[in-house]
Amino acid sequence: MKDLGIITEQDANKVGEILYKQHNALTSGRYDFTACQLDIMFMVLASLKENETSYRIHVTDIELITGRKWNISQLTESTEALLTRMFEVDAEDGYTQFVLFQYFKYLKGTRTIEVKLSEIALPYFFDLKNNFTHFQLKSVLDCSSSYAKRLYMLACQWRTVGRFPRPLPIIELKKMLGLVDKKGNEQYGEITGFKTKVLDIAKKQINEHTDMNFDYELYKKGRSFEFIQIFVNNSKNKPEQLEIDFQKDLNFQKEVRNIMSYGLNEEQAAAIAKDGYSKFIKFIDELNAKIRQGKTSVEKSTAYIIGAYQKKNVIPKKG
């Protein structure tokens, strides 16, 4: 058999550390979130601040940033389900059960929801915000298989190089996936069960629901399969609608979306927002006033705005 560049136990432990560093109660469990629940979660993540547990989510902001609209029935059903969903964490010092939210309060006539987070859940929210991009987190939460979630997080570490550095002992991967207990008892001892119940299901869900293509190959040592090589690369799958980026300031994102409503693309709108949103609103107000007074005529407003900001060197000129 050719040399596969077998991974050492020390290397395998490092891989385990990488995987478990991103282990999170909100991503690794068997929890499914609806699209409406995801939008609520992402709005909270985008608003998240140190030591703060109370936030206000404006439904109009969700519509502005994502392009999705939710009626009051969809929202109340979603928040009710979030309030009753229990999460679990098994750590060395004990086993903890908790909920993410203390309450949701709908403020009449404002399309605003007041959200109170559970204090115990704060570290997990910050883990999500710091360890994932928006689409990576959505991908993890869209996978129903806990093994798909964990394998996706592991594969994200190596997507830029296209494959895991070297074949990994299958037993080490099973340990990472929680399929080997502290006494060494192993689930799916037969390779067929491990393939069909774990690897193939994870492969199908990762390829269907995420921004990544995932594949694997098993290698034998003697008569039995003992090593696995994981292959990953970026998929062409992208979010079909504008999405909340919880790594960026929420007000800035709203400003960009508002500027885009004038027909500008996201890059142009972001440049104008950085130059100053209040300056842009003043520019639009003054332009509208001139048009009403007959002092100027604008046939194509988008082109006029772009041209004006190109003269200011805010938007780069083509060519």
The model's pLDDT over 31-87, given as tens digits with 9 standing for 90+, comes to 667 889 989 998 999 999 988 999 999 999 999 888 889 999 999 999 999 999 888
In a domain, 66, yes or no: yes
- Within a domain: residue 55? yes
Adjacent-strand bridge partners of 256: none
Q: Is residue 180 within 8 Å of residue 186, measured between CB atoms?
A: yes
pLDDT digit string, tens, across residues 206-265: 998 888 889 999 998 888 899 999 998 877 655 555 678 877 888 999 999 999 988 999
Percent of the residues in the chain that have a pLDDT greater than 90, as a whole number: 40
Measured distance CA(249)–CA(245) in Å, rounded: 8
Residue 47 sits in the same domain as residue 8? no
Which of 131, 164, 185 marks a domain boundary? 131
In three-state secondary structure terms, 55 is strand
Q: What CATH number is attached to the domain comprising 92?
A: 1.10.10.10
Q: What pLDDT shows up at residue 24?
A: 60
Mean pLDDT of the 152-162 span: 78
Q: Are residues 231 and 148 in the same domain?
A: yes
Contact 85, 100 (CB under 8 A): yes
Query: Containing domain of residue 291, as a range?
Result: 250-311
Q: Are residues 45 and 184 in the same domain?
A: no
Domain boundary (189, 215, 239) is at 239
Amino acid identity at 132:
F
Beta strands in 45-152 (DSSP E): 54-58, 87-91, 94-98, 101-107, 112-117
- What's the pLDDT at 19? 44
When divided into structural domains, the chain yields a total of: 3
Verify that 138 and 126 share a domain, yes or no: no
167-217 pLDDT per residue, tens: 889 998 898 888 888 788 888 888 999 999 999 999 999 998 888 889 999
* 105 domain-assigned: yes
What is the three-class DSSP state of 192?
A: helix
Task: Identify which has the larger pLDDT, 2 or 269.
Answer: 269
